[in-house]
Amino acid sequence: MAGQVIGVDVGASKVAVATLRAGALGRPTVEPTSTAGPEALMDEIAGAVAAVRTGDTEAVGVGIPAVLEFSTGRVKWSANARLEDVELRVLLEERLGVPVFVDNDANCAALAEAHDDAEPDVRDLVMLTVGTGIGGGLVLGGRVYRGHTGAAGELGHTLVGALLEHGAPAAGRFPQAGSLEALAAGRALDALAEAAARAEPGSALAARLAESGRVTGRDAVDAALAGDAAARRLVALVGERLGVGIANAINTFDPEVVAVGGGVSAAGELLLGPARDSARRFVVPGVGERTVIRVSRYGADAGVRGAALLARQEL
C-alpha cells in the first residue's frame, strides 16, 4: 500500500496517463492516440508510463473503449479495428515488467465514480459515458461486474427504440438503429445540430455552420450552455432519450447512483434535467427510490483515475 499505481486511459483521440498515490491523482499527461497499429500504440503507452514511473510502482491499469477478455486483455471488438485480437494485457506486462490490468474504459470510469476516499464506497453504480458513442460500466456489490467472459456492460448497445416490425436492422452493424447509442450519443446530437442549422437559417447553429462549414454536437452543447434556446431543445431531446436508457438501468439494477460522464455530459443539468424527468416516468413504482442520477464526479479524469483504481483493486 506504500507505492503508487499508474492509470492509462486510451481514448479514440487521446491517451492520458497519471499516477495515483495515497488516493491523490497526479496531473495527467495527455497525448494524441497513435493510430499506426498495436505496436505503435503499445510503444506510446510504455513511453508515457516510463515518464511517470517510480521505483515503487506496483501495477498499471489500462482503460480502453473495447470489448475485452479480462484475463488476457485480448481485444475482442473495438471501433479501432487494428487492435482486434491483440492481447494487450499480456504484451504490456512483458514490456513494463509490472502487473498490468486492462479493462473497458467505462468500467474504469464506473470504478472511479464509485470510490471516493472521503466517503463510503458506492456499492451499486451504473456509469454511462456519453461521448461519440455510449459506454456502460457496472459496479455491483462494490466490484466491477464483468459477466461470464468479461464483456458485460455494453449498455450503449441495448435497444430502447427498436421494433422488429419497423424493418430488420442490418446484421453486424453497430450501433444498431434503435439502440441507446444510436439515439442519444454525440453522433445523434451531431446529426440533430446539423439538421437544426439547416432548418433555421438565423440560428446560432446556422451561424456556426456558415462560419466553419460544419456544426457538431459539441457546438450544440456550447451554444446551449451560452443560452441559445434552439440548442437547448436539442440537448434536452437527447437528454430525454438518454432518460429511457437510465430508466432501463434503474429498473434493472435499482442502483444507488447512475453517473453520466463523457463529452456530452459537459451540458450538465441541461442534459440531466430532461433525462431525470423522462427516467422517472418509466421506472416501476418502488424501484430506484433512492437512486441518484448525477453527472460524473471526476469528469474527464474519471477514466484515468479509474484505470489506476483498477490496478489497485486487482493487485
Residues near its own copies, by CB under 8 A: 67-68, 76-77, 123-124, 136, 140-141, 143, 145-155, 157-164, 168-169, 171-172, 174, 176, 178, 183, 240-241, 244, 247-248, 251-256, 278, 281-282, 284-291
- Cβ nearer to its own copies, comparing 43 with 124: 124
In angstroms, give the least distance from the CB of 194 to its own copies: 18
CA distance 299 to 266: 8
The three-state secondary structure class of 153 is coil
By the 8 A CB rule, do 80 and 97 touch? no
- Cβ nearer to its own copies, comparing 16 with 139: 139
3-state SS of 95-132? HHCCCEEEEEHHHHHHHHHHCECCECCCCCEEEEEECC
CA distance 71 to 253: 25
In angstroms, give the least distance from the CB of 212 to its own copies: 29
Work out whether strand 74-78 and strand 134-140 pair parallel, antiparallel, or are unpaired: unpaired
- Cβ nearer to its own copies, comparing 155 with 215: 155
- Cβ nearer to its own copies, comparing 43 with 254: 254
- Cβ nearer to its own copies, comparing 28 with 288: 288
In angstroms, give the least distance from the CB of 63 to its own copies: 17
In angstroms, give the least distance from the CB of 102 to its own copies: 14
- Cβ nearer to its own copies, comparing 5 with 126: 126
By the 8 A CB rule, do 143 and 153 touch? no
Give the residues across from 25 on adjacent strands.
Answer: 20
In angstroms, give the least distance from the CB of 299 to its own copies: 24
In angstroms, give the least distance from the CB of 35 to its own copies: 21
CA distance 90 to 98: 11
CA distance 53 to 57: 6
CA distance 249 to 99: 33
